Amino acid sequence: MVSKKVIKKILVLDTKYGPYKCIFETEKDMGGFLVEAQGLSGAISWGKTIREARLMIVEAIEGAIEANIVAGAEKSGLVQIKDNRRYVLTA
């Protein structure tokens, strides 16, 4: 059995919320690339190619940020979520 060498590459990717440093590494079991955004919990993805992994992690970064925004608004009472719909509470 031949073991595959893990290769790591760090790229800074632009998103609609600004640049994020991302760590790409080859995935031994499935092939392709595993990628994680540094400093942003929940922003992890995978792609068959570097190009696909880049597209997927940008989407994951933006989704994680938007989820944090909604969670913060809900916690502060600005938004109430029911049945997967957002209702804005007004004073």
Residues 6+ apart with CB under 8 A from 76: none
Q: How far apart are CA 63 and CA 13, in angstroms?
A: 15
Q: pLDDT (tens digit, 9 = 90+) per residue, 54-67? A: 999 999 999 999 99
Burial-class residue 20 by CB neighbours within 10 Å (0-12, 13-18, 19+): buried
The pLDDT, as a whole number, for residue 4 is 67
Domains of the chain are 8-88 (3.30.160)
DSSP SS3 for 4? coil
Q: How far apart are CA 89 and CA 16, in angstroms?
A: 27
The pLDDT, as a whole number, for residue 87 is 67
Q: What is the pTM of this model?
A: 0.82
The pLDDT, as a whole number, for residue 3 is 60
